[in-house]
Amino acid sequence: MLDDELEVILGKVATKLRSPKQLMALSALSRRFRRLVRQPAVWRELDVSQHRAYMTDSLLLRQIVRNDGAFSLLRRVNFGGCTRVTDAAIRKVLALSGKTLTHLYLEGCALLTTELARYAATACPNLEVLDLTACASVDTLEVLRLSDEDWPKMRELELMDTGALAGRTPQETFERLRAALAARRERFAEQKKAEAEAAERAAEEFLPFGGAVGDRVGASDAANAPSSDAGPAGDAPGTAPAAAATGAPEGSGAAEPEAESTLLACRRGPALCMDELCEYVNEVHGRLAAWGEGQQVAACDHAMVAQGAMSEHNYVLNMLPDCGHVICVECEQKSRVNMTRPHGADHYVYPCPVCAQDMPEPGGFTITLAQ
């Protein structure tokens, strides 16, 4: 069998296994396999998420990536759950395969920083999918900015549990994130409106007579409609009015697709659909508004006093984003002694003292309210 044919087979095996460990074990068979296994044509995908428990920078760079260019043509890279891998190791992979890379999954890589995202913006111009879920040290707002100005082919971006949605987040930071998302959605709506108006103007230029587009189309339809066997409203026999046929109420315009409310405009590329992030941020903002409006969401006496402005206080108040209750740091720590472990679960949960809904785990996402 020729080397080229064997490389094709090895490439299919690598795609099927989705892990480099088994394929690289073939290097022990012979010198030929040792050489062929390290050919760039074999590797289109690198997935080390199955080895997340013990994957480190040293193991990745010395045993897998090396400096022979074997991974210079990668299209997909998955480091999901590799909590011990840092920017330095992933930068090495991006430096080798950045030009061809289209999918990069970094979910749960807790040691990654915003600098890696900035590097990926220049090293990976063809990136289409980027998952940074649970990368708490990555600045959410900065990655949103990069998605707007770089990555012309980006279509999927996951940013849940990143910087502005992780740990003790100041209310100001959260509000900046909400404003940034709202501005991008508004810009997308304006772009679609401008495109529709431009299309309408272009259509008018090709019509031979004056008048509005709707008037000319209606006149043409009336002239061509049969005069006999017409229904009571002038409709052709056996046909229903247009409003009934489309299921839309009479006089109403076309309904906007619901998905468009979560589409974010991008200056260099297609619009990003970030349903989960936008919906979650809007829900949490609604709970913040309830606190500001004076609704009964205080979970301790200190928060109740602060909300009613009955006296000056020095308490740091945090809002629990999933249920919306507000509690001071001292009372939150005391309430965590009531932790429980649901039947069959392998971890503890911390019920809210008011609604018993699970509070964030220690160090999890809460919003520190502005004093």
Q: What is the pLDDT along the chain (371 residues), one digit of tens a residue?
A: 666 666 666 667 667 666 777 777 666 677 777 777 778 888 888 999 988 999 999 999 988 888 888 889 999 999 999 999 999 999 999 999 989 999 999 999 999 999 999 999 999 999 999 999 999 999 999 999 999 999 999 999 999 999 999 999 999 999 999 999 999 999 999 999 999 999 998 888 876 555 544 554 454 455 445 544 444 444 444 444 333 333 444 443 444 444 445 789 999 889 998 989 999 999 999 999 999 898 999 999 999 888 876 666 678 999 999 999 999 999 999 999 988 888 677 788 899 999 989 999 988 999 999 87
Q: What is the C-alpha separation between 189 and 263, in angstroms, rounded?
A: 9
Q: What is the C-alpha separation between 304 and 297, in angstroms, rounded?
A: 8
**pLDDT given for residue 81 in this prediction:** 95
- Is the pTM above the cut of 0.85? no
What amino acid occupies position 202?
Answer: A
**pLDDT given for residue 238 in this prediction:** 44
CATH architecture of 43-166: Alpha-Beta Horseshoe (3.80)
**Edge-to-edge strands, sheet with 103-105:** 45-47, 76-78, 103-105, 129-131, 156-158
Domain assignments of the chain as residue spans, ordered by start: 43-166, 298-368
Q: What is the C-alpha separation between 168 and 103, in angstroms, rounded?
A: 30
**pLDDT given for residue 246 in this prediction:** 39
The answer to whether the CB of 272 falls within 8 A of the CB of 278 is no
Q: Where are the beta strands (DSSP E) in 67-145?
A: 76-78, 103-105, 129-131
For 342-368, b/e burial (b = at least 16 CB within 10 A) is: eeeeeeeebbbbbeeebbbeeebbbbb
Q: How far is CA 328 from the centre of its chain?
A: 31
